Amino acid sequence: MILTMVGGLLIAKKYLTYTTPLYESTAKIKLADTREGVPNSNLFKDFDVFVNSNKISGEVELIKSNVLAAKALSKLNLGISIFRVGKIRKIELYNDSPFYIKAVIANKNWYNKPFHVIISGDSLLLLTTPTGEKVKSGINRIITIQGNSFCVFRNDDLLQKRKDLVVNDHYEFVVHSQDALENTLLHGLDVMAVDKDVPVIRISFKSPTPEKSADVVNAVAAAYIEDYIEEKYRSADTTEQFLNKQLDTFSHKLLSSENNIESYRNQKNIINIRQETETDLRKIADMKKQLASVRMNIQAIDSLNSYMTRGQDHMLELAPNFEAFTDLLSTELVKKIKELQREKKDLLIKYTPENEKVKVVDAKLDDINIYLKESIQNTQKSLHIQYQNLEGTINTAEQVFIGLPGKEKKMTILERNFNLNEDIYRFLHTKRTDAEIAKAATISFHRIISAGKVPTTPVSPNVKIIKIMAAILGGAAGLVIIFLIHSIKSKVNDENTIYRYSDTRLLAAVPLLTKPEQQAVYFRKLALELDLMHILNPGANICISSFNREEGKSFLTNGLSRALQAIGKPVFTTSTQEGILHQVVNTDDWKNYLQNQDKDALILVENFAFSLHPDALIPMACATLNIIILDSRKTRKEKIQEADLLTRELHLPNVVFVLNRAGYAPSLFSQAKNLLTHFIPRRK
């Protein structure tokens, strides 16, 4: 794992050496909010009268549009990109190019294709087109190829400032089409809102050149502000033109309404219908009051006249009602009659009615009565004439109200049309004033609150993260390699492997014992355990076998033999490796061989590796205890099931497993050391 982690770090370091870093510059724009801030003040409300509250998402999409990208590109010199070509990578020079290029491309297939330029001798150049044509020329000379013109100019201003700038080198330039430039700009542009509730937009751009990233975001922000002002001016100008046309139209309509009202007033003799109506009604009411008064006077005078007519033979005895005669003359006449009546009464006391004095008084009374009667009749006629005149005047006055609702309706319609046209005219005039103000106010309430600065540190690749991830992936690769090795080896690593793959009893798990003292202690313990199991009976035959060589048969046989002798057990040890079985061809021969040995001794047989020698099955078939050794570093897992299969098919007696080097996990270095010592012979 350490090796793979170190290898991952080395690979990451090499990758960081050759990868092209990306620099990011960011600009921020605060959008105008008509509900608060400066645009909400009364002074500036009318400036943006036709601008609604901006939605942040809509403004973000506007900035990412091709329209705004084209306006931003018009401020930048990105039509031709120049690169310095190295052996492994190429670097965009942008403002650090020792030359600049003017190109007129007639063949559209040459757009967005690389042209190679090799400059030598500070003035000689070799131009290679995308189709492979090569042209030799010089700096500041026009090159024409298939109708396409190029000219490479020396950047003397930069060369004077940068004396260390190399001119002679291998370069590459690309002439970009407008569509490709817009797509490249929009692809690298990152526009997002700082927060959904905060009207601030963040504009970022990544580029291998720090100056280019700053120039692009500043150009996009400036193009956005200018586009806002242009759109506001254009909308205000269009609105003003529309309002001027509408004002002319409604001016004629308003003039027509005024003329209609004037003609109708002249035709119907109308000054003010309401005032005239009120005046006529008041006049008629007064005349009706007079008519009622005259009617009462007529009734009174008619009653008086009838009374006087009925009593004309005895006038002096009458007592007429003179309520209708309220003038001074009638009053004086009545007084005169009363005086003459008193005078006559006085005279009648002295004289007879035939006396001249009495007759003179009677004549006077008759004259006054006649005058009074004539006066009553004249007054009656006068009142009747006055009544008829008042009645005729009232009828004439009431003729004015005939057709008045129609006049009022017509006048109301004419005035309503006039008021409607006047209101629309005033509204349009006000809006034209607002549009003129908005057109004249070439300002924007969107503000660039943070301009893009030239970055000094790249944002990509992230060195720390890449190295950390390389180390983590290296460690993971080491783990994967370890698991692959273990799966490929598929060795019996521990006791659990035996328990999982077989039901055969595990007799012992022998750890790695490198020191003689450790070996003596462990095998003495093992011998005592076997004795307590009643396995070490006299004449017992213990066969120690394995599948392959070097799995620990000799180690287990020798260690167990010494331990049994140490506890006082007689032991006879034999090995099939010594050629004992060269005359043994079956199990009977092997049994006869064992019977010829010491009958009281415990027989330990170190058997063949039975996967390599078929005769190894003979001692196993005759053993009272079969020990099959499995080595944790050498025996494969499949051998466990193979041993079970042999046991079942051949009916081998009392088979047990012994795991050698249990729990042993050597380090990579010790394994490498063992491998080297195995293949490299030691010096004498």
Alpha-carbon distance 644 to 106, whole Å?
Answer: 84
- Asked whether residue 93 falls in the same domain as residue 201, the answer is yes
Q: 126 with 153, same domain?
A: yes
Distance CA 618, CA 607 (A): 9
- Tokens encoding 613: 């020698």
Q: Is the domain of 207 the same as that of 160?
A: yes
What string of DSSP letters covers 482-539?
A: HHHHHHHH-B--SHHHHHHH--S-EEEEE----SHHHHHHHHHHHHHHHHHTT---TT
**When comparing pLDDT for 40 and 176, which is higher?**
176
* Highest mean pLDDT of the ranges 191-205, 328-342, 593-607: 191-205
Residues 7 and 72 reside in one and the same domain: no
Give kind and range of the element (H or E) at residue 89.
Answer: none
Claim to verify: residue 611 and residue 632 sit in the same structural domain: yes
Q: Is 481 a domain residue?
A: yes
Does residue 627 register a pLDDT over 90? yes
Main-chain phi, psi angles of 445, to 5 degrees: -90, -5
Tokens 């006054």: give the residue.
368
Which pLDDT score, from 0 to 100, does residue 276 have?
Answer: 72
536: Cβ contacts below 8 Å, ≥ 6 apart: 527, 530, 564, 569, 602
Q: Which of 210-219, 285-294, 513-522, 649-658 has the lowest mean pLDDT?
A: 285-294
Q: What is the DSSP letter of 113?
A: -
Q: Is the link from the previous residue into 461 a cis peptide, with omega within 30 of 0? A: yes
Residue 268 lies in a domain: no
Contacts 24+ apart (CB under 8 A), 227-233: 227/62, 227/67, 227/68, 227/71, 228/444, 228/446, 229/442, 229/443, 229/444, 232/48, 232/50, 232/51, 232/438, 232/444, 233/439, 233/442
* Its pTM surpasses 0.85: no
Supply the pLDDT for residue 7. 92
Q: What is the mean pLDDT of residues 485-502?
A: 81
The residue from 190, 220, 250 where one domain ends is 220
Q: Are residues 7 and 112 in the same domain?
A: no
| Same structural domain, 7 and 35 | no
Model confidence at 48, pLDDT cuts 50, 70, 90, reads: very low
Q: Does a structural domain hold residue 177?
A: yes
Tell me: do 481 and 497 sit in the same domain: no
d(CA 91, CA 479): 39
Give ∠ CA 637-628-643 in degrees, rounded to 5.
50
- The angle that helices 56-63 and 210-268 make with each other, rounded to 10 degrees, is 120
* Phi, psi dihedrals of residue 103, rounded to the nearest 5°: -140, 140
**What pLDDT is recorded for position 49?**
40
Cβ-based neighbour number of residue 628 at 10 Å: 27
Residue 67: half-sphere exposure toward Cβ, Cα within 13 Å: 11
Q: What is the 3-state secondary structure (H, E, C) of 524-556?
A: HHHHHHHHHCCCCCCCCEEEEEECCCCCCHHHH
* CATH number of the domain bearing residue 505: 3.40.50.300
Residues 657 and 559 in one domain: yes
- Whether 678 has a pLDDT exceeding 70, the answer reads no
pLDDT tens-digit series, residues 131-166 = 889 999 998 899 999 888 999 999 988 888 888 888
For 606, residues 6+ apart whose C-beta sits below 8 A from its C-beta are: 544, 553, 554, 557, 573, 574, 575, 576, 577
> Which residue has 């018009």 as its token pair?
74
* Residue 343: inside a domain: no
Domain count for the chain: 3
Question: Both 9 and 38 in a single domain?
Answer: no
Q: Bigger pLDDT: 252 or 442?
A: 252
Contact (Cβ atoms closer than 8 angstroms) between residue 544 and residue 556:
yes
The parent domain of residue 130 ranges over 24-220
- On whether the CB atoms of residues 421 and 254 are closer than 8 A, the answer is yes
For residues 330 and 256, the model is more confident at 256
Closest CA to 158 of 218, 74, 73, 82: 82
Average pLDDT of span 329-346: 76
DSSP SS3 for 28? strand
Last residue of a domain, one of 194, 220, 246: 220
In-domain check, residue 679: no
Residue 384 lies in a domain: no
Burial of 626 (0-12, 13-18, 19+ CB in 10 A): buried
Q: pLDDT digits over 70-102, tens only?
A: 999 999 999 999 999 988 888 999 888 999 999
Mean pLDDT along residues 287-307: 79
Q: Burial code of 224-251, b = ≥16 C-beta within 10 A, e = fewer?
A: beebbeeebeeebeebbeebeebbeebe
Mention every residue, 6+ apart, whose C-beta is less than 8 A from residue 571.
Answer: 561, 564, 565, 601, 602, 603, 604
Domain shared by 473 and 574, yes or no: no
- Which of 171, 189, 220 is where one domain is finished? 220
Q: Quick one: 651 and 569 in the same domain?
A: yes
3-state DSSP assignment of residue 148: strand
Residues 6+ apart with CB under 8 A from 46: 434, 437, 438
Q: Are 39 and 446 in contact (CB under 8 A)?
A: no
- Is 592 part of any domain? yes
In a domain, residue 174? The reply is yes
